Protein backbone atom coordinates (compact mmCIF):
# COMPACT_ATOMS: atom_id res chain seq x y z
CA UNK A 1 0.00 0.00 0.00
CA UNK A 2 3.09 2.26 -0.02
CA UNK A 3 2.19 3.38 -3.53
CA UNK A 4 -1.37 4.36 -2.57
CA UNK A 5 -2.42 7.69 -4.09
CA UNK A 6 -5.39 9.49 -2.53
CA UNK A 7 -7.24 12.28 -4.35
CA UNK A 8 -10.02 14.56 -3.11
CA UNK A 9 -12.29 16.45 -5.51
CA UNK A 10 -14.16 19.63 -4.59
CA UNK A 11 -16.87 20.83 -6.91
CA UNK A 12 -20.37 22.16 -6.97
CA UNK A 13 -23.41 20.01 -7.70
CA UNK A 14 -23.90 19.78 -11.46
CA UNK A 15 -20.29 20.44 -12.50
CA UNK A 16 -19.43 16.77 -12.89
CA UNK A 17 -16.83 16.35 -10.11
CA UNK A 18 -18.36 13.00 -9.17
CA UNK A 19 -18.36 11.91 -12.81
CA UNK A 20 -14.75 13.05 -13.20
CA UNK A 21 -13.72 10.97 -10.17
CA UNK A 22 -15.46 7.93 -11.61
CA UNK A 23 -13.84 8.51 -15.03
CA UNK A 24 -10.42 8.75 -13.36
CA UNK A 25 -11.14 5.49 -11.49
CA UNK A 26 -12.14 3.88 -14.79
CA UNK A 27 -9.05 5.07 -16.63
CA UNK A 28 -6.72 3.95 -13.83
CA UNK A 29 -8.51 0.59 -13.68
CA UNK A 30 -7.88 0.17 -17.39
CA UNK A 31 -4.13 0.66 -16.84
CA UNK A 32 -4.21 -2.31 -14.44
CA UNK A 33 -4.54 -0.50 -11.11
CA UNK A 34 -6.67 -1.17 -8.06
CA UNK A 35 -9.09 1.72 -7.66
CA UNK A 36 -11.80 3.30 -5.56
CA UNK A 37 -14.07 6.08 -6.79
CA UNK A 38 -16.81 7.37 -4.51
CA UNK A 39 -18.63 10.60 -3.77
CA UNK A 40 -19.58 11.82 -0.32
CA UNK A 41 -23.36 11.74 -0.44
CA UNK A 42 -25.16 14.64 1.16
CA UNK A 43 -28.08 16.79 0.13
CA UNK A 44 -27.65 16.73 -3.65
CA UNK A 45 -28.48 20.17 -4.99
CA UNK A 46 -27.29 22.06 -8.03
CA UNK A 47 -24.58 24.45 -6.93
CA UNK A 48 -24.00 23.04 -3.43
CA UNK A 49 -20.42 22.08 -2.52
CA UNK A 50 -19.78 18.38 -3.11
CA UNK A 51 -16.79 16.15 -2.41
CA UNK A 52 -15.66 13.04 -4.28
CA UNK A 53 -12.69 10.74 -3.74
CA UNK A 54 -10.26 8.43 -5.52
CA UNK A 55 -7.81 5.87 -4.24
CA UNK A 56 -5.38 4.36 -6.76
CA UNK A 57 -2.83 1.64 -5.98
CA UNK A 58 -0.87 -1.27 -7.45
CA UNK A 59 -2.14 -3.54 -4.67
CA UNK A 60 -5.66 -4.25 -3.33
CA UNK A 61 -7.26 -1.41 -1.35
CA UNK A 62 -9.15 -2.43 1.79
CA UNK A 63 -9.59 0.89 3.60
CA UNK A 64 -13.19 2.12 3.51
CA UNK A 65 -13.40 5.66 4.81
CA UNK A 66 -13.32 9.16 3.39
CA UNK A 67 -9.93 10.72 2.62
CA UNK A 68 -8.56 13.17 5.19
CA UNK A 69 -4.89 13.43 4.16
CA UNK A 70 -4.98 13.44 0.36
CA UNK A 71 -1.95 13.49 -1.92
CA UNK A 72 -3.84 15.67 -4.39
CA UNK A 73 -6.82 18.00 -4.27
CA UNK A 74 -8.75 19.07 -7.37
CA UNK A 75 -10.90 22.21 -7.13
CA UNK A 76 -13.39 22.34 -9.99
CA UNK A 77 -14.86 25.74 -9.01
CA UNK A 78 -12.67 28.51 -7.55
CA UNK A 79 -15.57 30.12 -5.65
CA UNK A 80 -15.16 27.14 -3.29
CA UNK A 81 -11.81 28.58 -2.14
CA UNK A 82 -13.79 31.03 0.03
CA UNK A 83 -16.36 28.44 1.18
CA UNK A 84 -14.48 25.20 1.84
CA UNK A 85 -11.14 24.44 3.54
CA UNK A 86 -9.85 22.77 0.39
CA UNK A 87 -6.27 22.21 1.62
CA UNK A 88 -7.41 20.52 4.85
CA UNK A 89 -4.99 17.64 5.49
CA UNK A 90 -3.43 17.99 2.03
CA UNK A 91 0.13 16.64 2.12
CA UNK A 92 2.95 19.15 1.56
CA UNK A 93 4.53 16.63 -0.79
CA UNK A 94 1.34 16.70 -2.84
CA UNK A 95 -0.38 19.35 -4.92
CA UNK A 96 -3.60 21.25 -5.43
CA UNK A 97 -5.02 21.82 -8.91
CA UNK A 98 -7.50 24.66 -9.29
CA UNK A 99 -9.77 25.66 -12.14
CA UNK A 100 -9.20 29.42 -12.04
CA UNK A 101 -7.93 32.55 -13.79
CA UNK A 102 -6.73 34.12 -10.53
CA UNK A 103 -3.03 34.80 -10.19
CA UNK A 104 -0.59 32.98 -7.93
CA UNK A 105 -0.37 35.55 -5.11
CA UNK A 106 -4.14 35.70 -4.70
CA UNK A 107 -4.33 31.91 -4.63
CA UNK A 108 -1.54 31.55 -2.06
CA UNK A 109 -3.38 33.91 0.24
CA UNK A 110 -6.67 32.09 -0.21
CA UNK A 111 -4.92 28.77 0.44
CA UNK A 112 -3.47 30.08 3.71
CA UNK A 113 0.08 29.73 2.38
CA UNK A 114 -0.22 26.02 1.58
CA UNK A 115 3.41 24.91 1.17
CA UNK A 116 2.92 22.23 -1.47
CA UNK A 117 2.66 22.73 -5.20
CA UNK A 118 -0.17 24.76 -6.68
CA UNK A 119 -1.31 24.21 -10.27
CA UNK A 120 -3.94 26.11 -12.19
CA UNK A 121 -5.88 25.61 -15.37
CA UNK A 122 -8.52 27.76 -17.03
CA UNK A 123 -10.97 24.93 -17.62
CA UNK A 124 -13.60 27.36 -18.89
CA UNK A 125 -11.33 28.57 -21.68
CA UNK A 126 -10.34 25.01 -22.61
CA UNK A 127 -13.91 23.76 -22.55
CA UNK A 128 -15.34 26.66 -24.57
CA UNK A 129 -12.57 26.34 -27.15
CA UNK A 130 -12.94 22.57 -27.49
CA UNK A 131 -16.64 22.01 -26.89
CA UNK A 132 -18.27 25.41 -27.28
CA UNK A 133 -19.81 24.91 -23.85
CA UNK A 134 -18.63 24.97 -20.23
CA UNK A 135 -18.07 21.45 -18.87
CA UNK A 136 -15.14 21.74 -16.45
CA UNK A 137 -14.85 18.07 -15.53
CA UNK A 138 -13.10 16.82 -18.68
CA UNK A 139 -10.26 19.40 -18.51
CA UNK A 140 -9.89 18.80 -14.75
CA UNK A 141 -9.57 15.07 -15.35
CA UNK A 142 -6.68 15.69 -17.75
CA UNK A 143 -5.12 18.15 -15.30
CA UNK A 144 -5.05 15.71 -12.37
CA UNK A 145 -3.56 13.00 -14.59
CA UNK A 146 -0.87 15.40 -15.83
CA UNK A 147 0.08 16.51 -12.31
CA UNK A 148 -0.22 13.20 -10.45
CA UNK A 149 1.13 11.08 -13.33
CA UNK A 150 -1.04 8.16 -12.24
CA UNK A 151 -0.87 7.26 -15.93
CA UNK A 152 0.80 8.65 -19.04
CA UNK A 153 -0.91 11.24 -21.25
CA UNK A 154 -1.12 8.61 -23.99
CA UNK A 155 -2.79 6.06 -21.70
CA UNK A 156 -5.35 8.67 -20.66
CA UNK A 157 -6.17 9.74 -24.21
CA UNK A 158 -6.41 6.18 -25.50
CA UNK A 159 -8.63 5.08 -22.64
CA UNK A 160 -10.89 8.12 -22.67
CA UNK A 161 -11.47 7.82 -26.42
CA UNK A 162 -12.93 4.37 -25.70
CA UNK A 163 -14.97 5.68 -22.77
CA UNK A 164 -16.38 8.63 -24.74
CA UNK A 165 -17.31 6.37 -27.66
CA UNK A 166 -19.27 4.24 -25.20
CA UNK A 167 -20.70 7.12 -23.13
CA UNK A 168 -21.69 9.28 -26.10
CA UNK A 169 -22.81 6.47 -28.41
CA UNK A 170 -25.94 8.49 -29.19
CA UNK A 171 -24.10 11.83 -29.41
CA UNK A 172 -20.96 10.99 -31.47
CA UNK A 173 -20.55 14.70 -32.40
CA UNK A 174 -19.28 15.51 -28.88
CA UNK A 175 -16.56 12.83 -28.80
CA UNK A 176 -14.07 14.88 -30.84
CA UNK A 177 -14.68 17.97 -28.69
CA UNK A 178 -14.14 16.07 -25.45
CA UNK A 179 -10.92 14.53 -26.80
CA UNK A 180 -9.78 18.02 -27.82
CA UNK A 181 -10.60 19.28 -24.30
CA UNK A 182 -8.38 16.58 -22.79
CA UNK A 183 -5.51 17.30 -25.18
CA UNK A 184 -5.69 21.06 -24.62
CA UNK A 185 -5.92 20.64 -20.85
CA UNK A 186 -2.81 18.45 -20.76
CA UNK A 187 -0.84 21.43 -22.15
CA UNK A 188 -2.72 24.21 -20.36
CA UNK A 189 -2.19 23.09 -16.74
CA UNK A 190 0.47 25.38 -15.21
CA UNK A 191 2.51 25.32 -12.03
CA UNK A 192 2.12 28.52 -9.99
CA UNK A 193 4.90 28.39 -7.40
Among 36, 99, 100, 148, binds another protein (CB under 8 A): 36
Q: What is the 3-state secondary structure (H, E, C) of 122-172?
A: CHHHHHHHHHCCCCCHHHHHHHHHHHHCCCCHHHHHHHHHHHHHHHCCCCC
Does position 11 interact with another protein (CB under 8 A)? The reply is no
What is the 8-class DSSP label of residue 65? S
Residue 83 and residue 55: Cα distance in Å, rounded?
25
Stretch that binds another protein, among 6-14, 30-38, 91-99, 165-173 (CB under 8 A): 30-38
Does position 38 interact with another protein (CB under 8 A)? The reply is yes
Among 7, 17, 20, 35, binds another protein (CB under 8 A): 35
Q: Which is nearer to another protein, 34 or 168 (CB)?
A: 34
Residue 158 and residue 37: Cα distance in Å, rounded?
20
Which residue, 135, 131, 127, 132, is CA-closest to 188?
127
Q: Which is nearer to another protein, 1 or 106 (CB)?
A: 1
Does position 155 interact with another protein (CB under 8 A)? The reply is no
Q: Least distance in Å: CB of 137 to another protein?
A: 16
Stretch that binds another protein, among 24-32, 105-113, 126-134, 173-181 (CB under 8 A): 24-32
Among 39, 128, 158, 167, binds another protein (CB under 8 A): 39
Stretch that binds another protein, among 29-37, 73-81, 147-155, 171-179 (CB under 8 A): 29-37
Q: In the range 44-73, which residues lie near another protein by CB under 8 A?
A: 60-66, 68
What ranges make up the beta strands (E) of the chain? 5-12, 34-39, 49-57, 72-75, 95-99, 117-121, 190-191
- For residues 186 and 109, the answer to whether their CB atoms sit within 8 Å is no
Binding site for another protein (CB under 8 A): 1, 22, 25-26, 29, 34-39, 41, 60-66, 68
Amino acid sequence: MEDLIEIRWHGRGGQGAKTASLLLADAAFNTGKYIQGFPEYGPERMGAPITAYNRISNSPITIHSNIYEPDYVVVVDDTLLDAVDVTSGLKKSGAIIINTTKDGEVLKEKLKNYEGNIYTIDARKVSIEALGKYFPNTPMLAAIVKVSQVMTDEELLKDMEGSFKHKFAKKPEVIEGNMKALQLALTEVKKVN
